[in-house]
Amino acid sequence: MKFPNVPLAVTIYVALWTPALLLAAFISFIGGYVGTGFAPLWQAIPFLLILPVVLFGIFSFRISAFAIVTLLCWDVIATTWPHISLAGFLSSIIDVLLLATTILIVLTAYLSPFTSGVNFLRYLRDH
């Protein structure tokens, strides 16, 4: 039986998932809680939900990655509706941070030898 590479997993979680978690907390605070006074609520939904979506990586990195890509698509649609385009998407700092967080979470789900944070901790406990 081949055992997952624990040092690789630790490196991935420290280098990718932890910064994504910190960025998600920042985005959720600034873009969601502070920004809801300046934008309609339906535009702030991706920013309000990003922290719970990233935290869901504790249970499943893949579902977390799928959900964060969905939030990114929601943000693009909500920002540019009715003429959907990516022309002005990168001009907003909060949207760039959302894109960076999405990239970090997708890389974590793709590169991780474990399917979730819980599975990693179970493996450490059992071995």
In DSSP notation, 82-105 reads TS--STTGGGSHHHHHHHHHHHHH
What is the C-alpha to C-alpha distance for residues 113 and 56, in angstroms, rounded to an integer?
A: 17
User: Mean pLDDT over residues 113-119, rounded?
Assistant: 92
Read off the pLDDT of residues 53-111 as tens digits, 9 standing for 90 and up.
999 999 999 999 999 999 999 988 887 778 777 777 777 888 889 999 999 999 999 99
3-class SS of residue 50: helix
pLDDT category at 1 given cuts 50, 70, 90 is very low
Q: Residue 121, Cβ neighbours under 10 Å: how many?
A: 12
- Domain limits of the chain? 6-126
C-alpha distances out from residue 101 to 80, 83, 105, Å? 20, 25, 6
**Torsion sign (Cα): 73, 25, 116, 99:** positive
* pTM (two decimals): 0.88
pLDDT category at 5 given cuts 50, 70, 90 is confident
What is the C-alpha to C-alpha distance for residues 116 and 114, in angstroms, rounded to an integer?
A: 6
pLDDT for residue 56 = 93
Contacts of 94 (CB under 8 A, 6+ apart): 27, 30, 31, 35, 47
Q: Which two tokens stand for residue 123?
A: 């493996």
Provide the H-helix boundaries in the chain: 6-12, 18-27, 41-55, 61-80, 93-111, 117-126
Read off the pLDDT of residues 12-37 as tens digits, 9 standing for 90 and up.
999 999 999 999 999 888 876 776 66
pLDDT for residue 70 = 95
